[in-house]
């Protein structure tokens, strides 16, 4: 089982519960991903408030995530175990119900076509903030048939989607002039994103703006008022449903990992930057508070959840019938070798019976030199061939007990990692379908 936030009835944020949820098994075209960060979107609370999309209960909310692949289906070809990926796992245009298991869980499954490899210069939190918002932002320009050199007026330039629309207008779609609206405290922030002009909506009304624009992009559903700044034949796109003006066209999104991959050069060069609301990231335990803030409509950029409870996951990958152990820390995945009981040399100290009972008196402190771990050459060679750093890992029943005793008295066994027994690890991985 894993920890997840879920709800079993529609309603306000208080219907959310934190509890145990089954770890899914990936289908042939799916990845099993350990979530390292997730982002909240308005659709998450709208879907929780009322049945706008069909789904069976319980529902784990969340569309956006970034994490590490821990297992994959037999048909997956683009990704391998240990790859860091990000994406929007909910394909709103696909047939059937949305996934019950959203991204506010330690482990999720997702089709390989919906994710992309995380750019190396982005943190998990930054990557998680992007997918749904950037996919929505891009779709609006496509819906409008926007052409390079045109002007654009963006309603709501400081929100999760708006911050990306401002950046994309210049850097991807070649707008000649970008205007965006926001409130007083965020004017300079929106300018820093690349807007040529920022309208403070608390001081200036739409009908006071004399210039007319080639494209009106409304990210907050205010086109019933903002339409006056658009030229007579200019497209008006509204990303909220239903649009509040008859001229406005609703724009949804295309969910695609390939589209995210196309953005890699812009993300790596800094032309497109993730914007995380400064109140976050919110801890996994504080999801209800994160929703409370998001639902005020005052977020600047994206509301992100991180860290997740399971930030250190040992799991097996079988290579040439040898047990290779992947060990995750906060930012990397290292490769270790599983040291079984038969790999231990000199593991027979005089006080063996005390070690077996976890009952060593302080005066009988065991010296690390009493145990010599030697990695069999056949195992070491496999790792060296893959260019991996060898990290000894104590496993097996005797090895676990000896390592436990050493750890108890702050001794060390070389640079060995102390983990669960091989039997326990294998049982956990069987449960996860690995």
CATH of the domain at 169: 3.40.50.720
Can you give the CATH number for the domain in which 23 is found? 3.90.180.10
321 φ, ψ (degrees, to nearest 5): 65, 20
Band (pLDDT 50/70/90 cuts) for residue 55 is confident
Residue 151 located in a structural domain: yes
- The rounded distance, in Å, linking the Cα atoms of 244 and 250 is 10
173 in a structural domain: yes
Tokens of 406: 């050493």
Domain assignment of residue 422, given as a range: 314-431
Q: Are 48 and 104 in contact (CB under 8 A)?
A: no
- Looking at the fold, whether 8 and 120 belong to one and the same domain comes out as yes
Q: Average the pLDDT over 321-332 and give the result.
A: 38
- Same domain as 142, residue 122: no
Residue 358 has pLDDT above 80, yes or no: no
Sorting pLDDT into bands at 50, 70 and 90, what band is 375?
very low
Residues 288 and 339 in one domain: no
Which residue, chain included where needed, has tokens 């909910």?
90
Per-residue pLDDT, 108: 95
Same domain, 144 and 124: no
Three-state SS for 415?
Answer: coil
Rounded Cα distance, 61 and 49, in Å: 11
Is 176:150 a contact under the CB 8 Å cutoff? yes
30 shares its domain with 147: no
171 located within any domain: yes
Tally of domains in the chain = 3
pLDDT at 431: 56
Quick check: is 255 in a domain? no
Q: Are 278 and 360 found together in one domain?
A: no
Residues 291 and 332 in one domain: no
Confidence of residue 430 (pLDDT cuts 50, 70, 90): low
CA–CA gap between residue 210 and residue 94 (Å, rounded): 43
User: Would the pLDDT of 227 be above 80?
Assistant: yes
Over 60: is that where the pLDDT of 253 sits?
Answer: yes
Average pLDDT over every residue of 390-417: 38
Look up residue 329 and give its DSSP letter. Answer: -
Give me the mean pLDDT over the 248-256 stretch: 92
Q: For residue 411, what pLDDT is reported?
A: 32
Q: Return d(Cα 335, Cα 393) in angstroms, integer.
A: 10
Residue predicted with more confidence, 413 or 118: 118
Q: Give the pLDDT confidence of 80-116 residue by residue, as tens digits.
A: 988 999 999 999 888 888 999 999 999 999 999 999 9
Residue 350 inside a domain? The answer is yes
d(CA 309, CA 330): 11
Mean pLDDT score of the chain: 79
How far, in Å, CA of 430 to CA of 434, rounded? 6
Q: Which residue has the higher pLDDT, 408 or 242?
A: 242
How far apart (Å, rounded) are the C-alpha atoms in residues 413 and 389? Answer: 17
Whether the CB-CB separation of 155 and 223 falls below 8 Å is answered with yes
- Which pLDDT score is estimated for 419? 40
- Better pLDDT: 54 or 124: 124
- In whole angstroms, give the CA distance from residue 409 to residue 379: 29
In a domain, 263, yes or no: no
Residue 81: DSSP 8-state: T
Q: When comparing pLDDT for 68 and 392, which is higher?
A: 68
Q: Quick one: pLDDT band at residue 335, thresholds 50, 70, 90?
A: very low
- At 356 the pLDDT is 36
Q: Where are the beta strands (DSSP E) in 224-278?
A: 236-238, 248-250
Residues 414 and 344 in one domain: yes
List, in order, residues 6 or more apart from 200 with CB less than 8 Å away. Answer: 181, 182, 183, 184, 187
pLDDT of residue 362: 31
160 vs 355, higher pLDDT: 160
Q: ∠ CA(199), CA(221), CA(141), 5° rounding?
A: 80
The conformational region for residue 158 under phi > 0 = left, psi -120 to 50 = alpha, else beta, is alpha
Q: Tell me: pLDDT of 40 over 70.
A: yes
């Amino acid at each position: 089982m894993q920890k997840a936030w879920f709800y079993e009835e529609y309603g306000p944020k208080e219907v959310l519960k934190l509890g145990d949820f089954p770890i899914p098994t990936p289908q042939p075209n799916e990845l099993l991903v350990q979530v390292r960060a997730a982002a909240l979107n308005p659709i998450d609370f709208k879907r929780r408030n009322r049945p706008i999309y069909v789904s069976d209960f319980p529902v784990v909310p969340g569309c956006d995530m970034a994490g590490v692949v821990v297992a994959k289906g037999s048909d997956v070809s683009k990704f391998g175990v240990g790859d860091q990926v990000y994406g929007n796992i909910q394909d709103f245009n696909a047939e059937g119900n949305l996934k019950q298991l959203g991204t506010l869980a330690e482990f999720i499954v997702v089709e390989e076509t919906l994710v992309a490899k995380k750019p190396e210069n982005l943190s998990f939190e930054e990557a998680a903030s992007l997918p749904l918002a950037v996919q929505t932002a891009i779709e609006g320009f496509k819906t409008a048939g926007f052409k390079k050199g045109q002007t654009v007026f963006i309603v709501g330039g400081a929100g999760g989607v708006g911050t990306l629309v401002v950046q994309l207008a210049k850097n991807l779609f070649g707008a000649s002039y970008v205007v965006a609206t926001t409130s007083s405290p965020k004017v300079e922030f929106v300018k820093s994103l690349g807007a040529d002009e920022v309208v403070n909506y608390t001081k200036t009304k739409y009908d006071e703006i004399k210039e007319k624009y080639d494209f009106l992009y409304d990210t907050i559903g205010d086109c019933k008022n903002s339409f006056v700044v658009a030229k007579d034949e200019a497209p008006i796109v509204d990303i909220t449903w239903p649009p509040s003006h008859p001229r406005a066209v609703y724009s949804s999104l295309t969910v695609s990992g390939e589209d995210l991959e196309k953005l890699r050069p812009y993300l790596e060069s800094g032309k497109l930057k993730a914007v995380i609301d400064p109140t976050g990231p919110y801890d996994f335990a504080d999801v209800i508070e994160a929703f409370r803030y998001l639902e005020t409509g005052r977020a600047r950029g994206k509301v992100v959840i991180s860290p997740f409870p399971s930030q250190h996951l040992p799991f097996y990958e079988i290579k040439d019938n040898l047990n290779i152990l992947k060990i995750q820390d906060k930012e990397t995945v290292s490769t270790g070798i599983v040291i079984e009981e038969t790999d231990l040399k000199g593991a027979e100290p005089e006080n063996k019976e005390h070690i077996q009972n976890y009952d060593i008196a302080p005066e009988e402190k065991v010296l690390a030199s009493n145990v010599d771990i030697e990695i069999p050459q056949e195992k070491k060679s496999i790792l060296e061939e893959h260019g991996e750093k060898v990290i000894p890992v104590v496993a097996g029943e005797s090895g676990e007990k000896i390592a436990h005793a050493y750890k108890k008295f702050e001794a060390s066994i070389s640079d060995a990692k102390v983990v669960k027994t091989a039997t326990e690890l294998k049982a956990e991985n069987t449960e996860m379908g690995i």
